[in-house]
Amino acid sequence: MDERLWLPPLPGEPEVLIECPRFSFVKRRADGAVDFVSPLPCPYNYGSIPGLTSDEGDPLDAVVLGPRLAQGQRLRVPVVGVIGFIDSGRGDPKVVCAAAPLTDAGCLRCRASRRSSSSARASPS
């Protein structure tokens, strides 16, 4: 395994600080400063796990699935997965959390959505 994808030990329910609420266009850093403005809304709540850092030295990123949460809200939420990313040659994993269990129906909707968007891109114009 690539050691850049190493993670610090994670609790089963880490405290996550929400920096970018679901549907927000503005991504903020943990200190509240604007990181960037997106042309598209964020499809999930995005934040970090205070006290834990990734290989790049920034707070460990976390994605929280579910309804929109308030910017600055801190909550303990179960980890459901980790996605390994490398950003500028440094490990930058995303910890995926969800307060409610992931369901087969939700997974099927995701697959159907990806399939229909893939078909739309493949269609001749």
Ramachandran area for residue 36 (φ above 0: left; ψ -120 to 50: alpha; else beta): beta
The 10s digit of each residue's pLDDT in 2-54 is: 666 677 788 889 999 999 999 999 988 767 789 889 999 999 999 999 999 88
Which domains can be identified in the chain, with CATH numbers?
15-98 (3.90.80.10)
Q: Which pLDDT does position 70 carry in this prediction?
A: 95
Instruction: Name the pTM for this structure.
Output: 0.74
Which residues, in sequence order, are bridge partners of residue 95? 62, 82
Q: Which pLDDT does position 115 carry in this prediction?
A: 45
Give CA separation, 60 vs 94, 100, 123, in Å. 7, 22, 39
The 10s digit of each residue's pLDDT in 73-109 is: 999 999 998 988 888 888 788 999 998 877 765 554 4
Q: Which pLDDT does position 102 carry in this prediction?
A: 74
